[in-house]
Structure 1
Amino acid sequence: MRVDLDGEVLTADDLSADILEFMRLFTRGNHDWFLDPEEVERVADYFRKHAPTLARAYAEFATKASVVSQAWSVTDRPIVSVSRATIEDDLHDLRQPAVLIVEDAVSDRCFLQGIARVFDGDDIAEAVEEHRLELLHGGGHDRACAQAPATRGRFKRTPRVALFLDSDRLSPGETTKCHKLAGQLEPLGIAVHVLELREAENYVPNEVLRGALRPRDASQLLDQLTQLTPEQRGHFDMKHGFPKLKEGAPRIPPGHQNLYDGVPDRVIDKLRTGFGTRLTELLENEAASGKLATRHFEDLGKKVVEELRAILTMLRKII
């Protein structure tokens, strides 16, 4: 978070212990100090009085913070304004890690770390690794949403909580239970992102899918997958494929409506095998090795890259 310590706080002798705790948070990189250049000298005087052994180092840090502050965009990350009246609650909130509630802490962590590495989100990947962003395992969308109010209750003034869900959509634009659950939580001040496509696995590019199966099997399955439009691919069960065809059962699940009308039977039948359950793990590995770039995601849909960047922006606002 970006933190603004107002002038009243920086002149209060009885708040020196709290101010020094904020300085530890700043110098460790937990949060960023928003400081007006005109306040630098007053800050230096404050530390000469209350922390003489650290005064020089803190004054230099304040100067650097003031320079960086001038380049920030307020819309990218909000600023927490700390006053005498709020300082105790603000410290309570900011000394804790931010929390992202996910359906599965293993697969969703891999997905988020993967896209962070590709889309200039090293700061977010580091926040996860350094436990400044906690991923809370929900165990499915119902349980994830059920945990959200109590998690929100950890924070007194600034709710640093977000929720990340698959949409479970079987057709474009469908309103699912996930959307309805998310809508109930947003009024609590919880940031929510429900994926536009069906699941996180639908955002795994073909470059990664090539390594999901034995080379020949992956190549044959990819040949069929590329016959689908981006909308069809975006709502296909990437992990398990289409259900095995049974006598009297529909060719594809009815929840897809008419999304796959016109797709040849041979393509549908070969796609009854999916790519397995390790796709987000493979995504993270390929991203960490530097093999993935923005262009690998562009073919997944016009707004996919924009959406993935929006997820990272949401996380920056709570970290």
Structure 2
Amino acid sequence: MRVEFHPEIFTRADQILEIHELIQLFLRVQHEWHIKPQDVESAVAFFGRHFPTLAPVYADLALKASVAQAWQAAGVAPLQVSHTTIRDDVCDLRQPAVLLVEDEFSDRCFLLAICRVFDGEDVAEAAARQHLDIRHGGGKDRAGKQASDALTRFRRTPRVALLLDSDRLAPGQVTRCHKVADEVRALGAHVHVLELREAENYAPNRVLAMVRPHHETSKKIKALKSLTPKQRGHFDMKKGFPGGRDGEPQVPRGHGSLYDGVPDRTIELLRPGFGAGLTELMMRAAAGGRLAESDFAGLGAEVVSELRELLSKLRKII
């Protein structure tokens, strides 16, 4: 997070330990110091009085931070730390930010792939350095409860986020996931519910082509291309269409009329789905430089903006 001290802090001598700890967090690049050029002098004088041995290092950090912030584009306002909030702020900032997900391995792969494609190196680095703690929720309800519990560990700034699939079988459908999201959002967490059905629905065709056996996958991809973006976005990418046997409908009833008019041959080709492990393949493809923003743009008009918004939400807590 970007952190700014109230100038008054450097005129007092009763919170030296808290200031020292925050400066250490800046040096470890766990957080970013936002300091106005006009405040550098008082900060340097404070360091000289209270940290004479470390003063040169701290003064250099202050100067570099003031130069850096002068060139930064306007964005999220920095966290304002005052003498009345500093103890709570230290408690909050020394902890890693928390991201609750339904499945830690699968969702981590999804997130790292998005980071690689959408200029999210800072988010990926925070996860690698454990400044962003991605936690396994074990399903939407458990993830929601864990997010609620994580919020209680922060005193002033709730640095907790929740990422959920939507589980939508049709566009705009309100599911249990949205209800869990509303409950946790009301407690102060940053929440993102995917617009499409699941993280796997964001796997571009380039990723699906990696699924073996390739000759069978190519047929399924051809069938998938014949669907509209909305039909593709709510298809069960892993398991396909389970119906069509023993009198069951060709398409599960929960989809309503979404797939009306889709040829039976297309439904049959897509029936097995593409199997598990799609987000892992997405991460591998992204890490290898084989995915671009254009691959995601082809999934739907709002997909690119949604994924950038997801990263933006995480930056607010990191």
Q: Deviations over 1:202-240 (max 9, x none)?
A: 001011110022221111111111111111000000001
Structure 2 residue 103 is the aligned partner of structure 1 residue 104:
yes
Instruction: Look up the SS of the partner of 2:186 in the other structure.
Output: helix
- Which residue number corresponds to residue 127 of structure 1? 126
Which runs of structure 2 are paired with 1:65-80 in the superposition (5 Å)?
A: 65-73=65-73, 76-80=75-79
Aligned position for 1:241: 240
SS at match of 1:13: coil
TM-aligned CA deviation for residue 248 of structure 1: 2.1
Alpha-carbon distance between aligned partners in 2 of 1:296 and 1:79, rounded to the nearest angstrom: 34
Deviation at 1:14, TM superposition (A): 2.1
In 1, the alpha carbon distance for the partners of 2:186 and 2:10 equals: 34
SS where residue 99 of structure 1 aligns? strand
| Cα distance in 2, alignment partners of residues 264 and 281 from structure 1 | 31
Aligned to 1:266: 265
Report deviation, 1:73. Answer: 4.6
Secondary structure of the residue aligned to 1:101 is strand
- Counterpart of 1:303, as a letter, is E
The residue type paired with residue 40 of structure 2 is V
Contact 1:77 1:316 in 2 (8 A): no
User: 1:184-203: CA deviations, max 9, x gaps?
Assistant: 12121111000000000000
CA distance in 1, matches of 2:60, 2:49: 16
Q: Report deviation, 1:276.
A: 1.1
Q: Secondary structure at the match of 1:81?
A: strand
2: distance between equivalents of 1:37 and 1:68?
10
In the alignment, which residue of structure 2 is the partner of 1:89? 88
- Alpha-carbon distance, 1:68 to partner: 1.9
Q: State the Cα RMSD in Å.
A: 1.1
In the TM superposition, residue 15 of structure 1 has moved relative to its aligned partner by 1.5
Task: Provide Cα deviations, 1:49-69, integer angstroms capped at 9, x if missing partner.
Answer: 111222122212111111222
Residue 71 of structure 1 and its aligned partner are, at CA, apart by 3.5
Aligned AA (2:259): Y
CA distance in 2, matches of 1:213, 1:154: 45
SS of residue in 2 equivalent to 1:173: coil
Offset, 1:244: 4.2
Contact in 1 for aligned 2:243/2:251 (Cα 8 Å): no
Q: Secondary structure at the match of 1:269?
A: helix
Cα deviations across residues 24-66 of structure 1 (Å, max 9, x unaligned)?
Answer: 1001100011111100111111111111222122212111111
- Work out the CA distance in 2 between the residues paired with 1:23 and 1:231: 49
Aligned residues: 318
Matched residue, 1:31 = 31
Contact 2:243 2:249 in 1 (8 A): no
Distance in 1 of aligned mates of 2:54 and 2:166? 51
Residues 147-191 of structure 1: CA deviation (Å, up to 9, x unaligned): 222110010110000100000000011111111111112121111
Give the match for residue 287 of structure 1: 286
- CA deviation after TM superposition for structure 1 residue 70, in Å: 2.6
Hey, what's the Cα distance between the residues in 1 that align with 2:87 and 2:41?
25
Quote the sequence identity (%): 53
- In the alignment, what sits opposite 1:155? 154
Contact 1:213/1:275, CA 8 A, preserved across alignment: no
Unmatched tracts of structure 2, length 5 or more: none
State the alpha-carbon separation in 1 of the partners of residues 68 and 110 from structure 2.
31
Contact 2:127/2:133, CA 8 A, preserved across alignment: yes
CA distance in 2: counterparts of 1:184 and 1:149, whole angstroms:
9
Which residue number in structure 2 is paired with residue 199 of structure 1?
Answer: 198
* TM-score, structure 2 as length reference: 0.98
Counterpart-to-counterpart distance in 2, 1:96 and 1:283? 30
Q: Is the 8 A contact 2:88 2:156 kept in 1?
A: yes
CA contact (8 A) 1:93 1:157 kept: yes
Q: Cα distance, 1:77 vs. partner?
A: 3.0
Instruction: Please report the TM-score for the alignment, with normalisation by the length of structure 1.
Output: 0.97
Give me the whole-angstrom Cα distance separating, in 1, the residues matched to 2:158 and 2:97. 9
Any stretches of 5+ residues in structure 1 without a counterpart?
A: none
**Secondary structure at 1:174 match in 2:** coil
- In structure 2, how many angstroms separate the alpha carbons of the residues matched to 1:64 and 1:86? 25
- Offset from partner CA, 1:233-266 (integer Å, 9 cap, x none): 0000000111141232111011111111111000
* SS of equivalent to 1:171: coil
Alignment of 1:111-260 (within 5 A): 111-260=110-259
